[in-house]
Amino acid sequence: MCTFDIDKYRDVAKKIISSCTGSGFYKGRTWRTLSHFVDNFGSRITGSKNLEHSIHFLEKKFKRLGLENVSKDPVAVPHWVRGEEMAAMIHPRFQPLSVIGLGPSVATPIEGIISEILVVKSFEELQNKTPNEVKGKIVVYNEEFESYGKTVIYRGLGAVEAAKLGAAAALVRSVTPFSIDSPHTGFTHYEEEVPKIPIACISIEGAELLQRLYNRGIKVIIHLKMLEKDLSPATSYNLMADIVGSKMPDQLIIISGHIDSWDVGQGAMDDGGGAFISWNALSLLHMLNLRPKRTIRTILWTGEEFGLLGANSYFEKNKSNLEKFTFVMESDMGTFRPTGLIFGGGDKGACIISKILTLFESINATSLVRSSDVSSDITFWTDAGIPGASILNENDKYFWFHHSNGDTMTVENPESLDLCLALWATTAFVIADMDEDFPRN
């Protein structure tokens, strides 16, 4: 299928892997830099000072490390601020509910909303109700978790569908397979022709309690208070740095993650780990004096959580020059122990990736999964036919912590970060150093 000679890269792969593992000089550095970063800056929601201070900090760090072409690319972003939030069942008895607003939800009146609930398990069930059955009520979605891709639609469109029938507000069961009464936030959509109503997530436990009471025919009344604010738009930045290619400097291999997070937890997993293996890969290659034929560019995207804003902005600015993008990589589904790569592209490209993965037999990361949905920010490029990859890792517990107060440094493991870094840096270097361009078929 392909004649790519991977053997000439075995020594350089061993050099990179040994630097990150065992007694290597870079072992533990990704975890240390990430923990310092999230402990100092905390969560980094789009539009916040935390985010902009963290970007400025890393910009200075990249320059001190000697990375090339360090720059910031401005992006217009919204500035939504979470306010006081409270939800409680007040009839048939008093029971506080763990709740977290979705961004950019509108606020309730200052006194909140007090209303009877209507519980449904699907949009189909809701749409079978009449407007008189829904009007003025708080719609509770107690949807079952199938997968993130299938279930997140209730978080994204829950307010719109409930508002179409006259609901006063919407509460969504958190999009997670596991809970210890922990609500998970995330992005929600509004439509121009549909009234905007407040929307929040409650825990699995809270949603199931309300479902059981509702099924018994018990009238349930909830008091919901959300004092969110939608402030004037702000300017944020994608942060970029390069190792300039020795022979084809205008050809780019992108390695990336997003630097923004939600305003809960520390954003260590989503997506601190992905962002930090991406810039540490560049730093490691620089320290090892490894300069490939093409340019490797690290991009830390901003505004991902509010709709891939940074990636979309950068793509729009560069879509007339897509020929310069050879390959795109993003890590945004965890940096747990790596097992291989997820690849989006043609058969010839898959053959090359399968050969590259033989370099990682020593760390048991040789699996290849092909997918048309590789990762969020780089979708603009992969949809345009540019091949891409993300890390395949043991992330079965990723959505336990995702968009919650549980997304902290405690989730991250130093050894797993080292192995992800080794995989990421080696893959980027090999693709950037190939004699022929990576195929787009």
Residues assigned a catalytic role: 304
Q: Which of 262, 154, 164 is nearest to 202 (CA)?
A: 154
SS3 content of the chain, % helix, strand, coil (to 5): 40, 25, 35
| Helices and strands of the chain, counted as H and E runs | 14, 16
φ, ψ at 179 (rounded to 5°): -155, 145
For β-strands 221-226 and 85-91, DSSP reports them as: antiparallel
Kindly report the length of the chain: 441
Instruction: Please name the helix (run of DSSP H) or strand (run of DSSP E) that holds residue 352, with its range, or none.
Output: helix 347-357
Instruction: Please name the helix (run of DSSP H) or strand (run of DSSP E) that holds residue 40, with its range, or none.
Output: helix 29-41
What letter represents residue 305's amino acid? E
For the sheet containing 229-243, what is the strand order? 68-81, 229-243, 294-301, 248-258, 325-330, 388-393, 338-344, 367-370
For β-strands 229-243 and 169-173, DSSP reports them as: unpaired
Instruction: Enter the tokens of residue 344.
Output: 């989006």
Cα separations in angstroms, 257 against 140, 331, 377: 34, 5, 8
